[in-house]
Structure 1
Amino acid sequence: MSTAQDRVPYRSKTVATWLALGLGAFGVHRLYVHGLKDKLAWLHPWPSLIGLYGIHRMDTLGQDDRLAWVLMPWLGLMLSIAMLQGIVWGLTPDERWDQLRNGGRSGRASGWGAVIGVVACLMVGGACLMTTIAFSAQRYFESQAEAAKALSQ
């Protein structure tokens, strides 16, 4: 007889962490863990694509394109969110992970794969978050300086 535990597909913590690192901005990590019915996973790609469009606009139109200033931080935000999710999942104890994601069925220990994935998520996430904050602050203060210069003339 099939139990509810047997119907739950096995989800590897290591795979989830690495998916968050590689494809997290597009929500693939959430689809892997939560399945196709996860609404947040389907919302993930849109801000990321908006940010990529901002990068394309800046590449095409130059740094003075104000719309690109607004759009680009969305990609950095989504990357940072995905990296944070990868860190949290990778640091979840194996027993707790199996209880939450695998219906209590234990798999093999996650080992170094999850640890290296967490370190990579931390490096990429920190870099994305700091870059997004620095870029946004720089553009904000440049626009304030331009406004002050226009008023003084």
Structure 2
Amino acid sequence: MKNKTLAAWLSFVGGPLGLQRFYLHGIGDIWGWLSPIPTALGLYGIERVQQRGLDDHWSWLLIPLLGLVIASGALTAIFYGLMTPEKWNARFNPGATLDATSGQTNWLTVGALACALLVGTGTLMASLAYSFQHYFEYQIEEAAKISQ
């Protein structure tokens, strides 16, 4: 029996590592094994900023990738948490009755939804702001070079 609350928390906390995929689909899930790759690339972007400074163009691409991975894990947690018990049990617990307790929403599920909404939205907005700020700064610098 796959528990909806546990899946929502795994998506929120371990989404960038694909933990919810392993819980729901088993250890052989290819998407679960591919999930840490963009997370590692985003962490590498943070390392590049620390080593080379904010003018590193690769970090402008890699850091927002980490933010998008975190935001997608939060979005998955919201998706799982808002799924009706009938739909949850039909999809992930096919042998159970449609109103089985593993698909029910409780206060821990609501807590996962609230945390995922707060952190996911903040991370997504910060990632977009970071990438757009550096993109427009680069455009202004290039325009200044052309005008001279």
TM-score when scaled to structure 2? 0.92
Q: Which residue of 1 aligns with 2:18?
A: 27
Is 2:6 the counterpart of 1:11? no
| SS in structure 1 of the partner of residue 28 of structure 2 | coil
Alignment of structure 1 residues 60-75 onto 2, 5 Å: 60-75=51-66
Is 2:75 the counterpart of 1:80? no
Is 2:126 the counterpart of 1:131? yes
- Percent same amino acid at aligned positions? 40
Paired amino acid for 2:7: A
- Once residues 104 and 112 of structure 1 are traced to their aligned partners in structure 2, the CA distance between those partners, rounded to angstroms, is 25
- Once residues 76 and 104 of structure 1 are traced to their aligned partners in structure 2, the CA distance between those partners, rounded to angstroms, is 37
Is 2:71–2:123's contact at 8 Å kept on the other side of the alignment?
yes
- Once residues 87 and 38 of structure 1 are traced to their aligned partners in structure 2, the CA distance between those partners, rounded to angstroms, is 21
- Can you list the C-alpha shifts for 1:73-124, whole angstroms capped at 9, x where unaligned? 1101111111111000001112221111111412353311111101110111
- Once residues 32 and 78 of structure 1 are traced to their aligned partners in structure 2, the CA distance between those partners, rounded to angstroms, is 18
- Can you list the C-alpha shifts for 1:34-54, whole angstroms capped at 9, x where unaligned? 112222111111011000000
Paired amino acid for 2:50: D
Is 2:49 the counterpart of 1:58? yes
Structure 2 vs 1, CA of residues 104 and 93 (structure 1 numbering), >3 Å: closer, same or farther?
farther
Is 1:52–1:72's contact at 8 Å kept on the other side of the alignment?
yes
Is 1:98–1:107's contact at 8 Å kept on the other side of the alignment?
no
CA-atom RMSD, angstroms?
1.2
Is 2:12–2:76's contact at 8 Å kept on the other side of the alignment?
no
In structure 2, stretches of 5+ residues that fail to align are none
Count matched residues: 144
